[in-house]
Structure 1
Amino acid sequence: MGKLRPEKEEHLAPCHTRRPRSLWNLLLLLWTFLNCGLGGNAQGPGEWTPWGSWSRCSSSCGRGLSVRSRRCIRFPREELCWGDTHEYRLCQQPDCPPGAMPFRDLQCALYNGHPVLGTQKTYQWVPFYGAPNHCDLNCLAVGHDFYHSFGRVLDGTPCSPGAQDLCVAGRCLSAGCDGLLGSDAREDRCGRCGGANDSCLFVQRVFRDAGAFAGYWNVTLIPEGARHIRAAHRSRNHLALMGGDGRYVLNGNWAVSPAGTYEAAGTRVVYTRATGPEETLRAAGPTSQDLLLQVLLQEPNPGIEFEFWLPRERYGPFQAQAQVLGWSPRQPQPREVEPQPLESPTVIPPRTPIPTPEPCPPCPDTRGRAHRLLHYCGSDFVFRARVLGRVRQAQETRYEVRVQLIYKNRSPLRALEYVWAPSRCPCPPLALHRDYLLAARRLISPDGTQDRLLLPHAGYARLWSPAEDSRVRLAARHCPL
């Protein structure tokens, strides 16, 4: 590409000088005096002059190219300079207006009405793309079954419609990440042009949590700046992706999204689902904000593989955030259960009698379809859970529950959760080791230090039964997610 031609060389006769035009030529002149004075023989390649400035873009709209050149200065016995006399780079102009004639079409149209092929007959010409060399100006005669090659296309012509490659000196060249046509510079996995993958780290893991209930489970946080993201599994479960604003990008709210391309966090997410139980999610990145990868479990999890590349400076914060999004209860505390009677000791130490608390008043009646609809529609979570423990703290009651089935959730639930009732005498009360259908709200303190599941006073808490399961599923139809 653009190799040196003999007529463009400049020769310096031994011990002959010319008036210097730049500092570079002055240094070359000094070197010439020294070489001639010492009587040495000139060997090796010549010397390049500095690159000239870039030319204007070849196109007034869309993509084009700019060119710059340099000259080789050498002695008669020296070899040619190593390298190219010209460099070409892409330039981007404003988009062409609708209906504008493509560059190749315009070049063919220049021959409309002009006699060719040695006759006086004229034709109308349009581009022909079936010829072997795409950088020749091959034009088809309209209404005839032949085409004619008018030589090379002009530099900057796309090799084919919609192609990113451009023709330069009769060759079809692609641009490297440095913008130079014909360059082999490529971005590494970290997004650096010509890099060696040393500015980022590769995160590759397998999420193997089997899951104790059907519903959404956190798999991993995909931090801002992640590249080359991939997640895959083989099961009847479904991958779900949530944006930084808490809204699902795909497979959210218990609805399975169709396979396709989705926009999320400044990148395109390609979601594929094969005819078998295989499902994949890919994105080139980089992401402009955090994403949360989840799985909607419908059967035991056989393992979800995920990987991405992350800038080194973001790896530490990612590890810290991943621990915050771990799989411990929402309010990390040691498990407490209802105290059991102590064995009768041989000696009972004296102690101050504890005043007996006042008995709890009866709870209001919370039965009926209207009550169920009211709390189902206004809640953030509806789920089936088994009560494992109960602790009264000041004027609150905290239940530890094991989530077994989720009917509605506006954010992920974990296998073990704490549910808070705002009273020492909660209504309705929950008995230990029983299964309930619960409707709870999410309550976050103003300073963000507490994130609780709140069971409102006189809220929805019914003993689970197949009949109650049918009623709550019927309520879901009147309160879509």
Structure 2
Amino acid sequence: MDTVETRKLKPEEMEWLAPGHPGRSRLFRTLLLLLWTLLSCHLGGTAQGPGEWTPWGSWSRCSLSCGRGVSVRSRRCVQLPGEEPCWGDSHEYRVCQQPDCPPGAIPFRDLQCALYNGHPVLGTQKTYQWVPFHGAPNLCDLNCLAEGHAFYHSFGRVLDGTPCTPRAQGLCIAGRCLSAGCDGLLGSGALEDRCGLCGGANDSCLFVQRVFRDAGAFAGYWNVTLIPEGARHIRVAQRSHNHLALVARDGHYVLNGDGVLSPPGTYEAAGTRVVYTRGAGPEETLQAAGPTSQELLLQVLLREPNPGVHFEFWLPRERYGSFQAQAQALGWSLRQPQPREVEPQPAETPVVPEAIPARAASQTPDSCGPCPDSRGRAHRLLHYCGSDFVFQARVLGRHRQAQETRYEVRVLLIYKNRSPLRTREYVWAPGHCPCPPLAPHREYLLAARRLVSPDGTRDRLLLPHAGYARPWSPAEDSRVRLAARRCPV
């Protein structure tokens, strides 16, 4: 009888064989994989699925030494017996931009045709001078016209990277005319989404679309909305005899400013091109691809009641919160300082003027009596601390009405403002003979209050009677800065 040798397992061996031990799991997986391989070979089974690609190689040099060409990279498909071919392309082509070619450089297609100059073709010993021919059906064949003759000949395909036509963006690759996607790869078809991301899904930005229906009671410029920095695909439209206006961040009108209409066309603003259209009818549009590099202020110049200004743009998500905060801080409908009544015009008599006067002619001033004395430190401190705005301004013009006087001013320096001030503002003073009076073309230090009508249609800067208005000087600047430190909190 054979004897069976027995051996007591060591503690570490018992632990290795215990259920859940990682070494035991790896052993079982290895055994299962080996069993599956043996069964596949024994039963004559075939491998399923495609092969695998090797990593992409490096990009080749640009096909051209100047101008726009292509570079290529490739990869190999590794297939086991019975596997399907790899899915995808073995070559990728991308656009490469070299320095601009010097003036007078010979185009790439011309060079390829010129290679056949002086060589016999068409089975005869006759030779020709060849130039490109662009009227043939296949744009990526080397079709060359015999100079001085009425025929052309195709010498096969053009070299990769040859432009399909002299003015097209497409390039010829393996006999096909391909355009570059936003990823720079030819034929990829990749497009930018509305947020400006290549191949994106419009989920990194928000679509802002609103209709401005406020105003309509008074003529002049009304603020519609701020177009924030980073806005894309901007579109504004309105159908009336009113006019759209656009203001840059520095207060300069991009179009339709100061009451003078700009011609339709393309305007540069905030790092983008704004296309302005205005036909014989009442429709008017603004369009810009963006993105804007700074804020723009959209206004409407009212000549009749406002039927609505439609505007829309796409905005990055991270900028939307600040845009909302700015819009709320500015009251969404910003200050509307021009309160001249609008007379509705009949639809059958449209008027599309080429220029609109910026302001009515000033009336002949009546003789005005002297103003009360309002000098002194106490007066200055009272008005500075009790005012909403204190600023240095240059008076551009004055318009007197029966019960009030309107000054058009350019804001030069702001000492105090409880809401935003634009570069150009209107300041209103009560009475035909305001006190103190302001002279056109002079600079003043002004303290004004904000006056909003109960229905919200008027939002004005008011210079009170016997208020604070001093000719600006360095000494006045020092006095008002001192007053700022003494106002109660």
TM-score (norm 1): 0.66
Does 2:395 align with 1:379?
yes
Matches of 1:271 and 1:243, distance apart in 2: 15
8 Å contact kept, 1:443–1:452: no
Give the conservation status (yes or no) of the 8 Å contact 2:140–2:177. Answer: yes
Which residue in the other structure is 1:464 paired with?
Answer: none
Report the counterpart of residue 268 of structure 1 in structure 2: 273
Q: Residue 297 of structure 1 corresponds to which residue in structure 2?
A: 302
Q: Say whether 1:362 aligns with 2:378.
A: no
Structure-1 separation of matches of 2:468 and 2:149: 82
CA separation of 1:384 and 1:284: change in aligned 2, threshold 3 A: farther
User: Could you say if the C-alpha distance between residues 168 and 428 of structure 1 is closer, same or farther in structure 2, counting changes exceeding 3 Å?
Assistant: closer
One-letter code of the match for 2:108?
A: F
Q: Of the candidates 311, 316, 323, which is equivalent to residue 328 of structure 2?
A: 323
Aligned to 1:221: 226
**Distance in 2 between residues matched to 1:297 and 1:308, nearest whole Å:** 23
Secondary structure in structure 1 of the residue aligned to 2:246: strand
CA 1:174/1:278 → structure 2, altered by over 3 Å: closer, same or farther? same
Following superposition, the deviation at residue 289 of structure 1 comes to 0.5
Residue of structure 1 equivalent to 2:435: 426
Shift of 1:362: 2.7
Question: Is the 1:440–1:453 contact (alpha carbons within 8 Å) kept by the matching residues of 2?
Answer: no
CA contact (8 A) 1:64 1:156 kept: yes
Cα separation, 2, equivalents of 1:274 and 1:330? 28
Q: Could you tell me which residue of structure 1 aligns to residue 81 of structure 2?
A: 76
The one-letter amino acid paired with 1:87 is E
| Separation in 2, partners of 1:452, 1:311 | 35
The Cα of 1:212 is off from its aligned counterpart by 3.0
Q: Give the aligned partner of residue 241 of structure 1.
A: 246
Match of 1:254 in 2: 259
Alpha-carbon deviations, 1:203-260, whole Å to 9, x = none? 1111112333322111111000000000011112211111111111111122111111
Between the aligned partners of 2:168 and 2:181, the Cα distance in structure 1 is 15
The Cα shift of 1:264 comes to: 0.9
Q: Deviation of residue 329 (structure 1)?
A: 5.1
CA deviation string 1:409-447 (max 9, x = no partner)? 885889xx76469xxx92459xxxxxxx999978689xx
Map Cα deviations across residues 254-294 of structure 1 (whole Å, 9 max, x no partner).
21111111111111111111221111110000000101111
Amino acid at match of 2:189: D
State the alpha-carbon separation in 1 of the partners of residues 34 and 441 from structure 2.
Answer: 94
> SS of the counterpart of 1:57?
coil
Question: CA, structure 1 residues 213+63, in 2 after alignment: closer, same or farther (shift >3 Å)?
Answer: same
Q: 1:444 to 1:121 in 2, by over 3 A?
A: farther
* SS of residue matched to 2:168: coil
Distance 1:362 1:73, change over 3 A: closer
RMSD: 3.5
Q: TM-score, normalised by structure 2?
A: 0.65
SS for the counterpart of 2:92 is strand
- 2:62 maps to 1:51: no
Consecutive unaligned residues of structure 1, counting only runs of 5 or more, are 1-31, 332-359, 365-376, 388-400, 430-436, 446-450, 460-481
Whether 1:169 aligns to 2:167 is no
Alignment of structure 1 residues 47-446 onto 2, 5 Å: 47-326=52-331, 327=333, 362-363=370-371, 379-380=395-396, 382-383=398-399, 419=428, 426-427=435-436
Q: CA deviation at 1:41?
A: 2.8
TM-aligned CA distance change 1:361 to 1:255, over 3 Å: closer
Contact 1:230–1:306 (CA under 8 A) maintained in structure 2: yes
Residue 123 of structure 1 aligns to a residue whose secondary structure is: coil
> Across the two proteins, how many residue pairs are aligned to each other?
356
Q: CA deviation at 1:196?
A: 0.9
